[in-house]
């Protein structure tokens, strides 16, 4: 989160100053491709998790409270566009 906001603040300061610009996506455990068991990483346990994908957007909006805030602020429609990294 911090690195994303730092980038936006450097490149697009007017955009970065908007409240509610970002939210954290949920996490799911990575799976071992051979055993389908949860993967482990002895050197960095944060590598054992990954974002669940684009379909999680709606659950993340609801769970984070962002959806309620958008509705409270009068938003009625949202355009969502996904791209690959």
Prediction pTM value: 0.61
Averaged pLDDT of the chain: 85
Over residues 33-61, the pLDDT tens digits come to: 999 999 999 999 999 999 887 778 888 89
Longest dimension (CA), the chain: 48
Structure confidence at residue 83 (pLDDT): 63
Asked whether the beta carbons of 54 and 82 are under 8 A apart, the reply is yes
Strand-pair partners of 50: 28
Q: Who's near 20: CB < 8 A, 6+ residues apart? A: 66, 69, 70, 73
């Amino acid at each position: 989160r911090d690195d994303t906001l730092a980038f936006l603040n450097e490149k697009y300061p007017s955009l970065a100053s908007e409240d509610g610009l970002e939210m954290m996506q949920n996490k799911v455990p990575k799976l071992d491709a051979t055993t389908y068991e949860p993967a482990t990483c002895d050197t960095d346990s944060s590598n054992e998790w990954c974002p669940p994908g684009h379909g999680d957007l709606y659950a993340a909006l609801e769970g984070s409270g962002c959806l309620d805030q958008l509705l409270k602020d009068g938003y009625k429609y949202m355009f969502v566009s996904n791209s690959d990294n």
